[in-house]
């Protein structure tokens, strides 16, 4: 398990609908080549990022069913690693 951050309203609705997915590399509708969703190795690291951005509250930490070493990669200019593939997002207890 690795971790991500997301808008509570959006992530909770997606998880409830069975559609909670963090995306790997993809081309967005606006043509931008997105390198993949941001992920952190620990929940504490993800939470610290939210605190540093004063974003804790409307955003929370969620689990991602992926492996830090096998399923992530470094991208220059990003504050953490990005996913190599789509992966399921889950609520933390």
Q: Give the N- to C-terminal CA distance of the chain in Å, as an integer.
A: 13
Q: What is the DSSP letter of 29?
A: T
Using only the alpha carbons of the chain, give its radius of gyration: 13
> What is the CA 92 to chain-centroid distance, rounded?
13
The CA distance from 81 to 93, in Å, is: 24
pTM: 0.93
**pLDDT tens sequence across 56-74:** 999 999 999 999 999 999 9
Q: What is the pLDDT of residues 13-61, one digit of tens each?
A: 999 999 999 999 999 999 999 999 999 999 999 999 999 999 999 999 9
Whether the CB-CB separation of 34 and 25 falls below 8 Å is answered with yes
Using alpha carbons only, what angle is made at residue 11 by residues 60 and 65, rounded to the nearest 5 degrees? 85
């Amino acid at each position: 398990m690795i971790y991500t951050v997301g808008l509570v309203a959006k992530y909770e609705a997606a998880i409830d609908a069975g559609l909670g997915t963090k995306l790997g590399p993809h081309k967005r509708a606006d043509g931008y080549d997105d390198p993949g969703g941001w992920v952190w190795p620990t929940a504490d690291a993800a939470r610290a990022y939210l605190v540093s951005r004063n974003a804790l509250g409307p955003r929370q930490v969620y689990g991602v069913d992926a492996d830090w070493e096998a399923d992530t990669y470094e991208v220059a200019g990003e504050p953490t690693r990005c996913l190599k593939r789509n992966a399921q997002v889950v609520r933390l207890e």
